[in-house]
Structure 1
Amino acid sequence: MIALALPAETGSDGGFVAPRPEDLHLPDLIPWGAAYGTGFGKQMLVVLLSAAIVAVFFLIASRRGKLVPGRLQFIGESAYGLVRNSIGKDIIGEKEFRPWVPLLTALFFFILVNNLMGSIPLFQLPSFSHVGSAYAMAGLVYLTWIILGLKRHGGGFFKLMLVPAGVPKVLLIVVVPLEIISNFFVRPLTHSMRLFATMLAGHMIIAICAAGTSFLFVHGDGLIKGLGALTLVGGVAMFLFEVFIQVLQAYVFTLLTAVYIQGSLVEEH
Structure 2
Amino acid sequence: MTNPPIRAVLADDERLMREQLRSRLTEVWPELEIVAEAKNGLEAVELTKAHKPNLVFLDIRMPGLTGVDAARQIAQLPEDDDWLVPEIVFITAYDQYAVEAFEQGVADYVLKPAERERLQLTVARIKKRLAQREGAESADTGPVPLQQLLHKLSSQMNPSAKPQYLQWIQATVGQAIQMIPVEDVLFFISDEKYTRVQTARLEALIRKPIKELVDELDPQLFWQIHRSTLVNARAIDGITRDFRGRQLVGVKGLGEKLEVSRSYTHLFKGM
Query: Would you call these one fold, judging by a TM-score over 0.5?
Result: no
Higher helix share: 1
TM-score class, shorter-chain normalisation, is under 0.3
Higher strand share: 2
